[in-house]
A and B are shown apart, each in its own frame.
Chain A
């Protein structure tokens, strides 16, 4: 079977949806709404890149939504105090990385199951944020909006940056030695250990990367609106995990790449607009997302059984 079968089939599914939209709802392809859609999904794509890293090491992080909210609010507060944009950006990334490091420490250091650890950090962070902020919004200074550019320019800048970044990360994952360690650990942690790799360290780093990227994504979300609300990241974890899993990153670790995650996210991102354009109620989105996750893991399960592994 072709190595990139999954990536290709997801791209195929995406193409079919786009063709269907072109045939039945050409309004979808108007440039401005499309650009807005891309801008809205840009932060999610950044997080999906980090999530792919973590899942390839055979872990999972469902606290990204809370990390996203916390980094966003913190960055927003700093921006509101008049910090310059670059410093705010660095702060957002650092806060995210710190939160990721906490997860990494618990998972890699104490060898706790990542699902329960991140479930706990998800709620702790979210409720902590709610407790402190009481649902209050942060008003952002205008200078932060679209990096001080016009809206259209800002949107283009954001989308282009995101795509370049994702490509860069994808290339790094393939062409930098450290990227390959991630795969080695996810494929077989014991064999990795025998080959002189520390699975613990790699796992920890993957969580830190995901945290940092989540911080970056929060920053990218921040510049899009005049206000930032504490619930901005709620539910993000599911969308991100769904995108990554649908894109062919195996939950059993060691397999997948960012192109698949990119295609997976685009597929999921098109569902909601497609539903509206095709006159299906948007309330089905979550159910369809869940169904797509299940289909994707079922496909993996079938393939694994056929492969006899």
Chain B
């Protein structure tokens, strides 16, 4: 690698509302290399990408593109500098044809010029041909499958003469065959001198494709290694490496009876199939897996948002149909969703209104609002969960992430649930609030609630759970006991049957 790097990041820092996303990350990319970026969820990968594409400005640090320091990047300027990003969810116009989508990205010029449709089509056909894609330029984007849409995105990037191509988990939705085709495309890009930043959770892809790999953890770079010099075990170790230093609260009471039993549960629409496990009162059942493994989808089935179409849900050994969230709530199932700003709290409503929202039936049995009771409830939770706020009438949006999460939790605790599903409860939460949430969750289990804890934070799952279920591709692939080590869980999640001896 004699050529100078086309992209150099030095000491990049970024924080969101007090929570560090990146604390001094170095990263570089040479022309004609595939540089893999690896890390757990929340390790800072997407923030780093957003800084490169100009979607977020860094708090500190320098960005050099082609040897020049650049500041004040926006998505438009980075495109001009030759950076293209292919997201998991392609940002195309669904109602327009392939040729037109490519043209809208590439063509500039007078608004009133005549469109040369044949030329547009020819160029689209040419670009797609170079990718080996059998897509007609006349097809509308919404008729294309996800991988085909990705190919169109890549065609745009090639057409724009991109020097840096970022691929964010491009294979998440692809079949084996499509993956191979994509790999060939990436190899071609490398051959033509393009630098590729490749993000993936699948280790075998990294070994098959990448020249170097950088592992991020907790917003810091753990190290950059040539792929030829490391093996999978080392890589897994780098990813999870951190010792479980935090003191996770331990279970002190014996498990209760089985509360929730799933038998061969599935939902074709949500891509979940054949999930069976049981959940005891007082137990914290951790659910590990990669993003897109079907964990949130399973939670949505249990909460009645996408009802199951096969299998059985048994609550206290009685078969129940959870056809809507109302049905789930009525049966004592609570779900603290992953996206708290969109689903967890209504940002524009007062804290007390948010907390009482799921327990209208219980709190106001005759449908009349009892502001005194509501106030009491809210104050109780503010005290018990130590929610930092101006008072019960503060708006949900005025709180920090951790406190919003506590409000979302309080809303569901107010329903006095039997089963509590927590989806990434500490994502984007600062470390102090994280510890508090852990304590609360353990306390709830102690009080007899069955907790289903979905988390991509491996130490959290390992430290909190009494048992750990691992999901991969919509199936529950393993149930591991407490005390399992990170490598075992990660291997099950990645689909690694055996590990290379270290």
A residues at B contact (CB < 8 Å): 3, 174-178, 180-181, 183-184, 186-188, 191-192, 194-197, 254-255, 307, 309
Contact = CB atoms under 8 A, between A and B. Distances in A.
Interface string B62-75: 00000000000001
Nearest to B104: A195
B91 interface: yes
Interface residues of B, number: 24
From A174, A187, A195, name the one whose CB has the most chain B CB atoms within 10 angstroms.
A195
Interface in B89-112: 91-96, 100, 103-105, 107-112
A187 B94 contact: yes
Contacts of B92: 191
Interface of B: 75-76, 91-96, 100, 103-105, 107-115, 117, 140, 142
B136 to A, nearest CB: 12
A177 B93 contact: no
Given A180-B100, A183-B96, A307-B142, A191 B112 contact: no
A176 B91 contact: no
A309 B115 CA distance: 30
Nearest to B109: A177
Nearest to A1: B143
A187 B112 contact: no
Given A3-B140, A307-B142, A180 B95 contact: no
B96 A176 contact: no
B104 A180 contact: yes
Contacts of A191: 91-93
A177 B114 CA distance: 6
A99 B98 CA distance: 37
Contacts of B115: 174-177, 180
Given A175-B114, A176-B115, A183 B95 contact: yes
A177 B113 contact: yes
Contacts of A187: 93-96
A177 B117 CA distance: 10
Given A178-B112, A309-B142, A195 B107 contact: no
Contacts of A195: 104-105
A183 B93 contact: yes
A174 B114 CA distance: 9
Contacts of A254: 93-96
A3 B100 CA distance: 15
A196 B103 CA distance: 12
B167 to A, nearest CB: 17
Contact of B113 (A176, A188, A192, A309): A176
30 contacts: A176-B112, A176-B113, A176-B115, A177-B107, A177-B110, A177-B112, A177-B113, A178-B111, A180-B96, A180-B103, A180-B104, A180-B115, A181-B111, A183-B93, A183-B95, A184-B93, A184-B96, A184-B104, A186-B95, A187-B93, A187-B95, A188-B91, A188-B93, A192-B93, A194-B91, A195-B104, A195-B105, A254-B94, A254-B96, A309-B142
